[in-house]
Each structure stands twice: as structure tokens, then as C-alpha cells.
């Protein structure tokens, strides 16, 4: 499709290309994610996500799923099985629950994706028992999903802002919470990688003329 045509629906291919863009961004930013994680975590966030999204790209490339929902479900399953630590189950749950929410529709809209990712975010919150303000990925995900109801760009900006807003917070969940007040002053690695997801989504939508 030409970039001057704008469409408001997309199919499975769009989400496959989004996740491939996530894999590229994670690969490029892996050192930064690991650096953030070495300050307040166990210094494996970059390497873990790099491995996970590389595996996602490989699986989706081998056998492209038939629907947007199936793409996210397959990606989530792959993340849970290849990424150790907490980020595998959390990101895996995000995508898998979103995929299940989309069901088998062949074409979906941005609004539907926002709704599905919203269900995914709620599942992540339930799984980890975290809320906004706990200095976790939710600090980027919750505003991003809200922004996605307006536009891909709004989602990107809100996620980025949410990630930056974790700097002054004290961690109340995850490995960083063991550090108490010493977690203050560092940007949360999970919120940072969550922001990458929405940056890649905005890039992919922009490149393909999806609004």
C-alpha cells in the first residue's frame, strides 16, 4: 500500500511487522536496558528481551498466524517459554491476553487493539499485583493504552512520558523493591522496554499509513 493511502484497519501482517520492529528496537537498545537493570535489578533485562523477541520473530516468520489475535497469542506464548525471569511471564501475559481478546477477526482497528491491550494490561497488573506508581512496566503501559484510543503517536508519547516518570519513584514491586529508597533516581527498565513496544507500533503504523 502507498504511504499516502490511510487505512484504519489492519490484519495479521501488520502485527507481525510491529513485533519484528520491536525485536529490532530491543536489539538496538539491549545494552541500555541492561544498564538500567544493573542499577536496580539483576542486569539481564536487555539480554532476556532480546532473546525473547528474536524467538517471536522467528516463530511468526516460520508460520504466519491467520489473524491479528493469533499473532499476539503465539507471540505471548513464545515469550513465556523463552524469556526467564519476570519479564517473560509479564510480557507474555500482556500479548496473550490481548490476542485472546481480539479473537479470530481477520481485520481489526486501532480502537480494538487498544481495548485488547487494555485487557492485557489488566492481566499483567493482576499477575504481578502491581499498580501505576509502583515503578514497573505498568507506568508506561497504562497511559500508552489510554493514548492508543486517540492515536498511535499519542500512545508512543504517553508511554515515553510514563517511562520517564518512573525515575523519581521508589519501587514497590519486583527485584528493585528490595532496594527500597535506593531505587529512587533510576528509570525503570520494564517501563523503558514497554515504551519501546509503543514506539515500534507508532513507527510501523506511520510507515504503513495505518491510522
SS3 content of the chain, % helix, strand, coil (to 5): 70, 5, 25
Query: What's the rounded Cα separation, in Å, for the pair 137 and 109?
Result: 24
Alpha helix locations (H) across 109-188?
110-128, 138-148, 152-164
Nearer to another protein, 35 or 42 (CB): 42
Nearer to another protein, 156 or 173 (CB): 173
Nearer to another protein, 69 or 174 (CB): 174
Nearer to another protein, 51 or 156 (CB): 51
Asked if 172 and 123 touch (Cβ cutoff 8 Å), the reply is no
What is the nearest approach in angstroms of another protein to the Cβ of residue 145?
Answer: 18
What is the nearest approach in angstroms of another protein to the Cβ of residue 89?
Answer: 4
What is the nearest approach in angstroms of another protein to the Cβ of residue 87?
Answer: 8
C-alpha distances (whole Å) from 210 to each of 53, 93, 144, 158 are 23, 26, 17, 19
Nearer to another protein, 32 or 100 (CB): 100
What is the nearest approach in angstroms of another protein to the Cβ of residue 151?
Answer: 29
Under the rule (CB under 8 A), what is the footprint of another protein? 76-77, 80-81, 84-86, 88-90, 92-93, 96-97, 100, 123, 127-128, 174-175
Please give the radius of gyration of the chain, using alpha carbons only, rounded to the nearest integer.
Answer: 16
Closest CA to 190 of 127, 136, 120: 136
Asked if 95 and 120 touch (Cβ cutoff 8 Å), the reply is yes
What is the nearest approach in angstroms of another protein to the Cβ of residue 129?
Answer: 10
Amino acid at each position: 500500500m502507498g504511504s499516502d493511502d490511510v487505512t484504519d484497519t489492519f490484519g495479521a501482517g501488520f502485527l507481525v511487522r510491529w513485533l519484528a520492529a520491536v525485536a529490532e528496537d530491543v536489539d538496538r537498545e539491549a545494552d541500555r536496558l541492561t544498564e538500567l537493570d544493573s542499577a536496580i535489578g539483576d542486569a539481564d533485562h536487555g539480554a532476556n528481551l532480546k532473546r525473547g523477541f528474536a524467538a517471536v520473530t522467528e516463530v511468526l516468520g516460520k508460520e504466519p498466524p491467520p489473524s491479528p489475535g493469533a499473532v499476539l497469542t503465539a507471540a505471548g506464548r513464545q515469550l513465556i517459554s523463552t524469556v526467564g525471569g519476570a519479564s517473560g511471564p509479564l510480557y507474555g501475559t500482556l500479548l496473550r491476553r490481548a490476542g485472546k481478546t481480539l479473537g479470530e477477526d481477520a481485520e481489526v482497528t486501532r480502537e480494538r487493539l487498544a481495548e485488547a491491550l487494555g485487557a492485557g494490561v489488566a492481566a499483567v497488573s493482576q499477575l504481578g499485583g502491581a499498580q501505576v506508581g509502583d515503578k514497573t512496566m505498568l507506568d508506561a503501559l497504562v497511559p500508552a493504552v489510554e493514548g492508543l484510543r486517540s492515536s498511535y503517536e499519542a500512545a508512543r508519547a504517553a508511554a515515553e512520558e510514563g517511562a520517564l516518570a518512573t525515575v523519581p519513584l521508589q519501587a514497590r514491586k519486583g527485584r528493585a523493591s528490595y532496594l527500597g529508597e535506593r531505587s529512587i533516581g533510576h528509570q525503570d527498565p520494564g517501563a523503558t522496554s514497554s515504551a519501546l513496544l509503543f514506539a515500534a507500533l507508532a513507527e510501523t503504523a506511520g510507515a504503513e499509513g495505518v491510522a
